[in-house]
Structure formats: structure tokens, C-alpha cells
Structure 1
Amino acid sequence: MKNPIAKIFKYLLPSLAFLICSKVQAQDAYEIIKKADDKMQGVSSKVEMSMTIVRPDWSREVKIKSWAKGQKLSLILIEAPARDKGTAFLKRHKEIWNWQPKIDRVIKLPPSMMMQSWMGSDFTNDDLVKESSIVNDYYQKVVADTTIQGYECYKIEMLPKEDAAVVWGKIYAYISKADYLQLLFKYYDEEGYLINTMKLSDIKKMDDRVLPTRLEMIPADEEGHKTVVQYNQMKFNINIDDNFFSMQNMKRIR
């Protein structure tokens, strides 16, 4: 009689191989996203950038400085145009405030405002203050290999975790295999409709790393609309105390 143990393994091995492969693939996708995200953020950072809001019959430029420490602390200062100068946004953990110097008022942003436009742009409040994390709030899976801007890339599908407070129903991220460059993101709602596409380009050395320095956020259903962010200067792993990210500093930072 044939060995019954061998017979059991005959049927179990394919299933076990599939489970092991799926687990390894998921772990690989997580590591890819984490490396790409760490590269863009560092332990801490200071960034000077310009944001141009483009519409079919007009455009507007906003000058911005930002500071960040990890995923939980960030401060964004508007330097121009004159009407918005001094406006600031502070994130501490899951709480987000907006300082409006013209009316001498601090406004706390509720979670319901995360999908609203940031400064009239095609970015949302969630995009700019990063309330949700592509590393921690989503399940990641490599679904294909592809080429973007001449770079061989992983196409990674990200689906929100059950308990995550996120605004997107699904995200596709395209990350270069060689240097973990973020090159393209596609954002979908819970119904599966494409809402925004973010293209990253103009690869340059910034401080101690090579990164895309131009971002274009393009809404799917508004022809002629887009928002372009150009990074002008980036410093990573700077010495910055947690106390820098305070309500008092948000009001006086220049």
C-alpha cells in the first residue's frame, strides 16, 4: 500500500507553496514601498518648493517651506502669494491645525476635511499632511512589472486595511526596481473609479540622494486641470526637535 503520508503531502505541497509565495510577495511589496517612502522623506527633512495650480484659463503659483520628522510631525508654511503669506499647517500625530494670520485664528481640521482641496490645488489635505500612510495603512502586493520613463518598475497594488482611516479605495504605485524611485501613482475611490494620477519626474540629486523633483497631480474628470510641485531645495536627516512642531511655532515661523 502506498504511504498515506506521502499522499497527503502530494496534495498539501502546492497549497503550501502558494501560501509561502504569497507571503513572500506581500513582504517584498511592503519593503519596496517602505524603501521608496523612506527615500522621499528621510528621518527628518526641510523642503523649499513651488506649487503651480493650472486651470484652463488661469494659473497661480504658491511658494512653500515645509519641515517634517517621521510620519507624525510636519509643519508647512506658505511664503507667497502675499494674500496667503504666513498661513501654516501643523500636524502632530493624527491632529492637524491650520493657522490663518489674517484673521488671527487656528482651525483644527476634522477627518471629514481630508478629501477637500488644499490651497485650491488638485492635492487634498490628506496628500499634503500625509494623515494616511502608504506604508502602514494599506496592504501591498506586486501585481506586474512595467516600464515608466525608461525605468523598469514594479506595479504595486495597495488596498486599505480594515481599520485604517484612509480616503482612497485603491492605489497603484509604480516604483523603479533599481533605485526605488516613485514615478507614478493612480488613486481610486471606493467604487473603483480613477480620481487622480500623480506623475513624478525630473530626477535629480537632492542633498544625499537622487529623487524625482517634479510632481504633477492630474484629476481624471477635469480636463485642463493639474497642479505641479517643483522641489527647489531638500535637506534630509536634519537636527530638529519635536518641540519645533508646536502651535506657538506655527504662528511665528518664517
Structure 2
Amino acid sequence: MRLIACIIAVCFANLLYAQTAKEIVQKADEKMRGKTMQAEMIIKTIRLTWSREMQCKTWMKGNNLAMIFIVAPAKDKGIAFLKRKKEVWNWMPALERTIKLPPSMMSQSWMGTDFTNDDLVKESSVVEDYNHTIAGDTIIQNRECYIIQMIPKPEAAVVWSKVIVCIDKKDFLELHSRFYDEDGKLINTMNSYDIKMMHDRIIPTRFEMIPADKKGQKTEMIYKNIQYNKPIDDGFFSTEKIKTLN
């Protein structure tokens, strides 16, 4: 009986631990997103022999609505991406066409960068599509962090087979993430820097995505301006609106 009681106690403790891990991930996700978010950002694609810079605007509302609009360079201006729930569209002004992206394209490169389509438009949910467990603790940028392992739920259509995230214990900032494929191979590492006050909260403002097998290659995403929790009507996130953004 004592052994059974111990087993039950351990299982119950692990269950609480897993719930706590999910709460930590949810707090970090909500910290970065807010109820709504409007932002201006620069995305720098860096290669051994060249680099490229894009300027973008983005709007997000909760976990189900998102829009990304490319402002510069001129050859890409007007290209836009829309997410509504689990559906993603791409507006190509040169073709005057709106293309619905299949789930299989979520793992593909976004606009030639080291970020995937899923990284930018967030088709998958880091909170709802994964099971979370705390794997330990670490120190990053002099901040104590949780190490959390995220394994996709069986029914979830997600890009990665495993994600390891390191989240600051004090401010719930995601400072380091590692992304693995279905064979358990490390594909990308993301680091977060330049923590500062943006609008009403402290967040990282520069993110580096580094592919594991491509030396000297990375993509930086830098937030220049963010506004949180300003009302955005659901109707803004429509396939008609992406054709008229400016």
C-alpha cells in the first residue's frame, strides 16, 4: 500500500509539474503577443557572401488572427500573409493572386529567410499543440531560466517533432529555443537579445535564427516599434484587406 501511495504521489506531482510547464509557456507567449499586437520590424537575412534586409509591418490578435505586410525592398513591397485560425493565405501583388498555403508549406522558408512560414504566421500554437514538461534549469544572459521540453500532441499538425525552450523565470522571456525534426536532428536554434521596454512591457527585441548545418548563415528579426492591446476589428484580417495594405 505504501508503494502504491508513493507511485500515485509521484504521478500526481509530475502532472502538476507538466501543468506548470504549460503555464510558463503560455505566460511567455502572452507576454510577447498581448491580446493584440501591432509592430514594425526589420528582417535581415545573412549569408557568407551577401545579406538582404526587409522591412515589415505585422498585426496579431490572439492566437487565431495575424497579418504580415512587406514594406521594403521595392521588389517585395505589397506581399502579404494572412492567418485566420488554421488557414494561411499569401497575397502576391505581381500576380494579383491570393494563394492558400497548404499545411505542408508551413515548414518551408519564409521569404528566403531561416524562419519558417510557421515561425512568422504561427499556424501552430505553442500552448495548445504541444505537451510540456520542465526538463531543468539554466542561466542565460545572467537570467535564471526554466528549460522546457515541448513534444507535439499526436493529432497536432506541427512542423517540429520536439522543441526545447528556455524561459526566464522572472519576466517570462523566451531567450533560447532549439527545433528538432522527426529524426531528432537539430535543425534551427533561436536566441533572443536586446531586452528592453517596448510600449508597456519588457521583451527581447532582437531574435536570431541559426540553422544547424549551414555555417555562417542566420536571420535576424528586429522589432523597431510595438503597440500592445490596441483594438483591431476581426474584419481587418481578411483576404480582401491584404490586397489594400500600405
Q: Where on the TM-score scale, by shorter chain, does this alignment land: which range? A: over 0.9
Out of 164, 172, 175, the position equivalent to 2:167 is 175
Map of 2:188 onto structure 1 = 196
For 1:133 and 1:94, how far apart are their aligned partners in 2? 10
Determine whether 1:89 maps to 2:94. Answer: no
Counterparts of residues 15-164 of structure 1 (less than 5 Å)? 15-164=7-156
For 2:138 and 2:85, how far apart are their aligned partners in 1? 35
For 1:67 and 1:181, how far apart are their aligned partners in 2? 20
Determine whether 1:229 maps to 2:221. Answer: yes
After superposition, the C-alpha distances for 1:197-222 in whole angstroms (9 at most, x for unaligned) are: 00001000011100000000000000
**3-state SS of the aligned residue for 1:82?**
coil
For 1:188 and 1:11, how far apart are their aligned partners in 2? 37
How many residues are treated as equivalent by the alignment?
Answer: 246
For 1:14 and 1:134, how far apart are their aligned partners in 2? 32
Post-superposition offset of 1:28: 0.6
For 1:17 and 1:103, how far apart are their aligned partners in 2? 61
Counterpart residue identity of residue 175, structure 1: I
For 2:171 and 2:117, how far apart are their aligned partners in 1? 28
Structure 1 stretches (4+) deviating beyond 2 angstroms?
A: none
Map of 1:5 onto structure 2 = none
For 2:167 and 2:136, how far apart are their aligned partners in 1? 11
Out of 155, 161, 165, the position equivalent to 2:157 is 165
After superposition, the C-alpha distances for 1:45-64 in whole angstroms (9 at most, x for unaligned) are: 10100000000000000000
Counterpart residue identity of residue 5, structure 2: L
Tell which structure's C-alpha radius of gyration is larger.
Answer: 1
Post-superposition offset of 1:78: 0.1
Q: Percent identity?
A: 53
After superposition, the C-alpha distances for 1:111-143 in whole angstroms (9 at most, x for unaligned) are: 111111101000011111101111000000001
For 2:183 and 2:104, how far apart are their aligned partners in 1? 18
TM-score by length of 2: 0.99
Q: Give ranges in structure 1 of 5+ residues lacking alignment.
A: 1-7
Q: Give ranges in structure 2 of 5+ residues lacking alignment.
A: none
Counterpart residue identity of residue 119, structure 1: M
For 1:177 and 1:57, how far apart are their aligned partners in 2? 39
Determine whether 1:220 maps to 2:204. Answer: no
**3-state SS of the aligned residue for 2:213?**
coil
Post-superposition offset of 1:229: 0.5
Out of 219, 242, 245, the position equivalent to 1:250 is 242
Counterpart residue identity of residue 218, structure 1: I
For 1:94 and 1:120, how far apart are their aligned partners in 2? 22
Counterpart residue identity of residue 36, structure 1: A
